[in-house]
Amino acid sequence: MKAAAALLLTLGLAACGGSYMDTKHAQKPEPVPTDKDADWRDYGKMQDVEIKVSYTSIGHVDRFGPKDYVYVWVWRAFQKDQETQEGESYRNEYARFALDCSASTMASIGVEYRDKDDERTARRDIPGYQWDFEPVTKETYMQDFFNQVCKLARDKANGVPADGGDDKPADTPDSKSGAQDAQPDTKR
């Protein structure tokens, strides 16, 4: 029975006159922002890694689907070489995330690895139909990141300047999202 179903599927695809994987007309994945257009802002520093977020990459990109996801690039710069699961060496990791702010979920949708000379060593992109949205756990580092990115996306959509545009102290919580109004302010 399974063999018959597989045969029918194959014949059906052949009758369409094309491949089920139309890579010729597929859109290329979003490139990692360059230093010139990224506006990298410090997000945090740990013992062996510095984390930056591209302010200009925060927002919705219509070509990636009908849902109003917020996209963001995150750069993790390590002090020492790291190794991927496949054994490739890298020093810089550029990860792209899709956030569903209304559902409090996010998914990693791509990553690019580069060596200490900023030469690409590997890239992994996840097709949209395979995005695995995970709930964001409250009171964690990831929840803080999620809240700040969603708030910045709302502010950008509403025309609020990058510096926040108000006179609130940096440590005043935002009553709507629980995020801090403090914004990453150090540019690369």
What pLDDT does 17 receive? 47
- pLDDT class of 8 with cuts at 50, 70, 90: very low
Q: Flag whether 17 is in a domain.
A: no
5 lies in a domain?
no
CA distance 130 to 93: 21
Q: Rounded CA gap, 160 and 165, in Å?
A: 6
Cα 75 from Cα 14, distance rounded (Å): 43
- Asked if residue 69 is part of any domain, the answer here is yes
Let me know if residue 97 belongs to a domain: yes
Give me the number of domains the chain comprises: 1
Q: Which domain holds residue 113?
A: 35-188
Domain-located, residue 138: yes
Query: What's the whole-model pTM score?
Result: 0.71
**What mean pLDDT comes out for the span 12-27?**
53
Dump pLDDT digits (tens) for 125-184: 988 888 899 999 877 788 999 999 999 999 998 888 876 544 333 433 343 333 333 344
Residue 133 sits in a domain of what CATH number? 2.40.128.710
Q: Is the pLDDT of residue 6 over 80?
A: no
Residue 115: CB atoms within 10 Å: 14
The pairs formed by 85-91 with CB atoms below 8 angstroms and a separation of 24 or more are: 86/122, 88/113, 88/121, 88/122, 89/115, 89/121, 90/114, 90/115, 90/121, 90/122, 91/115, 91/116
pLDDT given for residue 26 in this prediction: 64
Q: Given a cut of 70, is residue 47 above it in pLDDT?
A: yes
2 in a domain, yes or no? no
Query: Looking at the domain assignment, is residue 4 inside a domain?
Result: no
Place of tokens 């990453």: 184
61 falls within a domain = yes
